[in-house]
């Protein structure tokens, strides 16, 4: 049965495993951004809290996009286990740095998977990855911008209040 199912799909097992791994990465990002959202809300940084809540929703849609692709290709999608979510942070800057680091990590993951799919001659999946590669350019840019806003305004006086407002405007 397992063999027959594999024969019905042109998706190679190694590609399917990579896609399931990426679903897990997107699910982890979604939960991690939600934890960041909650922390920001606790600190009264409500606009940044809403920003990360939207970000969490976006990551879930990315995960489901991969899920749909796996299903449409006759592959097997696995609902990912999400563990190791950080809920405590030292300050807003630490969150923004982690945000940028996570987005760079996701870009690197798509670059690596695209390279592997080119080598495996799976051009259909390479084409599927194009949307994510473009999306990651925008995502990294947004993450970098939040850190720039933080650095430009600074935390003196009502700086944090202004930073919160400016970050909130990025997803309006």
Residue 62 found at the interface with ligand OFO (CB under 6 A): yes
Among all chains, which residue has been given the structure tokens 């609902």? 79
Nearest distance in Å: CB 115, ligand OFO:
18
Residue numbers 95-124 binding ligand OFO by CB under 6 A:
103, 106
Out of 9, 93, 104, 135, the only residue in the binding site for ligand OFO (CB under 6 A) is: 135
Measured CA angle at 171 (ends 104, 105), to 5 deg: 10
Q: Which is nearer to ligand OFO, 117 or 160 (CB)?
A: 117
CB of 63 to ligand OFO, least distance (A): 8
Residue corresponding to tokens 């944090």: 160
What is the distance between the alpha carbons of residues 114 and 15, in angstroms, rounded to a whole number? Answer: 10
User: CB within 8 A of 151, min separation 6: which ones?
Assistant: none
Among 19, 26, 56, 167, binds ligand OFO (CB under 6 A): 26
22 binds ligand OFO (CB under 6 A): no
Q: Residue 148, Cα to own-chain centre: how many angstroms? A: 20
Among 47, 50, 59, 164, binds ligand OFO (CB under 6 A): 59
Residue 20 binds ligand OFO, judged by CB under 6 A: no
Q: Which is nearer to ligand OFO, 97 or 135 (CB)?
A: 135
Query: Is residue 29 near ligand OFO by the rule CB under 6 A?
Result: yes
Q: Is 36 in the site for ligand OFO (CB under 6 A)?
A: no
Q: What Å distances lie between residue 19 and 26, 90, 102, 160, CA to CA?
A: 10, 33, 18, 39
Tokens found for residue 22: 């990426």
The three-state secondary structure class of 74 is coil
């Amino acid at each position: 049965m397992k063999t027959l199912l594999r024969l019905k799909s042109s998706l190679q097992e190694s590609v399917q495993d990579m896609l399931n791994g990426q679903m897990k990465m997107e699910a982890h990002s979604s939960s991690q951004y939600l934890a960041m959202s909650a922390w920001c809300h606790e600190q009264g940084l409500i606009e940044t809290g809403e920003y990360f809540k939207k970000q969490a929703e976006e990551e879930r849609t990315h995960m489901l996009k991969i899920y749909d692709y796996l299903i449409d290709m006759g592959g097997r999608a696995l609902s990912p286990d999400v563990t190791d979510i950080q809920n405590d942070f030292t300050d807003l800057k630490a969150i923004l740095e982690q945000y940028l680091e996570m987005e760079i990590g996701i870009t690197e993951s798509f670059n690596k998977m695209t390279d592997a799919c080119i080598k495996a001659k799976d051009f259909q999946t390479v084409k599927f990855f194009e949307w994510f590669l473009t999306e990651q350019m925008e995502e990294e840019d947004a993450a970098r911008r939040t850190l720039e806003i933080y650095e430009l305004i600074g935390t003196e006086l009502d700086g944090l209040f202004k930073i919160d407002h400016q970050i909130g405007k990025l997803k309006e």
